[in-house]
Amino acid sequence: MATVHPTAIVEPGAQLGANVTIGAYAYVGADVTLGAGCVLHHHATVEGFTQLGPDCEVFPYAVIGGRTQDLKARPGKPGLKVGARNVFREYVSVHLGTQEGEWTLLGDDNTLLAYSHIAHDCVIGSHLVISSHSAVAGHVHVGDHVNIGWNAGIHQFCRIGDHAMVAACSKCVQDVPPFVIADGNPCETKMINVVGLSRAGFTPDEVATAKTLHRLFYREGLNASQALEKARALPEAAGRVVQAFVGFAAATKRGLA
């Protein structure tokens, strides 16, 4: 059974899962679905065609499911799908897709710190941390176990690979490969995210392979095609590190940071 504060507004049509808690002056729109165990603190807003998975938590003044700011938007019912156990801290905003049938997607176990923003039509993985005041523009794809630092900005249509870190105050205008730390304005790939990979259970040999890839792509003066050719010829080419990095690099459209 849901617990709804008497001052909260839950529009007719909203679907509330078991044990949902909605605090004072919170707002839930008519097309919203809240999974079991979700908690909306006072003055939180969840609106639009939005589906929150179980055990999500929305802090005061966050707006989840707001209308896109994309000027191409037309009347319709774009959506937002959010997985389980996501935390949206104060003043976070996450927008719907742009057009009818388009979605903004978030995975599981993400933490979005105060004032951060996810724009329309993004595809966000799981176990993400996006720090305060950071902004992810429209159509960005972010992998799993990514850390985006304070006040970083991610340009439209960029991709950020798994286990990557974008440092604080960075301006990211190209794709950030898996396993790296990127920093600067514009953002440049600096080194392998050794601490992050170790914490995620990658072996020392896999970390060494990631360092080898970093040298191939960024230290040996090779162009992208040459680096890809050498990477595919590595003894570790069948392993998950090379497969992820090479697959990401081969698919880039904006170029690698």
Residues 176, 189 contacting (CB under 8 angstroms): yes
Cβ atoms < 10 Å from Cβ of 74: 8
Distance of alpha carbon 201 from alpha carbon 197, whole angstroms: 6
Active-site annotation holder among 35, 53, 138, 149: 138
C-alpha closest to that of 175 among 184, 187, 185: 187
Active-site annotation holder among 121, 144, 162, 183: 121
Is 120 tagged catalytic?
A: yes
Distance of alpha carbon 33 from alpha carbon 136, whole angstroms: 24
C-alpha closest to that of 142 among 186, 152, 115: 152
Cβ atoms < 10 Å from Cβ of 242: 20
**Owner of token pair 């799993």:** 144
- Bridge partners (DSSP) of residue 136 are 118, 154
C-alpha closest to that of 183 among 173, 175, 171, 192: 171
Active-site annotation holder among 41, 43, 117, 120: 120
Instruction: Tell me the catalytic residues.
Output: 120-121, 138
